[in-house]
């Protein structure tokens, strides 16, 4: 997407640095995530946009030459819950890849983000309870 040595300090910088074919998809992904997580803190983590709530990074997104991706960890719960919906996409240990050649699945991004928010809230509650 950009020079590997470039370091971002804001999500605006990250999105604006994207190539013309990736930037609109990143902006749209950002809008979907912000609507799903209106109280989340928008930060840069590992040099990509991230959304933190209750002290936990809920979800991240990134842009690449051939795809955009939704990144999060742990993935097991979301991958199991959305197995059918994720079947058409390549996944990795911590990401779902959306090819640039296909429409962005905004409903899926919204659903995964909300699911991850619930997982993160449960984790934060357990952590604060000392479990």
- Domains with residue ranges and CATH for the chain: 11-123 (3.90.1150.200)
- Rounded to an integer, the average pLDDT of 91-113 is 97
Q: Is the pLDDT of residue 23 over 50?
A: yes
Q: Is the pLDDT of residue 2 over 70?
A: no
* Whole-number Cα distances in Å, 47 to 17, 62, 88, 121: 12, 9, 27, 24
Using a pLDDT cut of 70, give the percent of the chain over it: 96
Whole-number CA gyration radius for the chain: 14
Q: Is the pLDDT of residue 131 over 80?
A: no
- Tell me, what's the pLDDT at 83? 96
- The H or E element that residue 70 is part of is strand 67-71
- The H or E element that residue 48 is part of is strand 48-53
CB 82 within 8 A of CB 6: no
CB 75 within 8 A of CB 91: yes
Among 17-21, 28-32, 84-88, which stretch is predicted with the lowest mean pLDDT?
17-21
Average pLDDT, rounded, for the chain: 93
- Tell me, what's the pLDDT at 55? 87
């Amino acid at each position: 997407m950009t020079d590997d040595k470039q370091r971002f300090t804001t999500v605006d910088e990250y999105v604006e640095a994207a190539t013309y074919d990736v930037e609109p998809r990143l902006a749209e992904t950002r809008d979907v995530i912000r609507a799903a997580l209106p109280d989340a803190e928008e930060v840069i983590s590992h040099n990509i946009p991230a959304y933190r709530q209750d002290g936990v990074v809920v979800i991240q997104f990134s842009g690449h030459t051939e795809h955009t991706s939704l990144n999060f960890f742990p993935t097991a719960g979301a991958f199991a819950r959305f197995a059918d919906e994720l079947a058409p996409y390549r996944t990795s240990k911590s990401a779902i890849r959306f090819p640039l050649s296909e429409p962005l699945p905004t409903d899926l991004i919204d659903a995964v983000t909300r699911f991850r928010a619930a997982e993160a809230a449960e984790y934060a509650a357990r952590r604060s309870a000392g479990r």
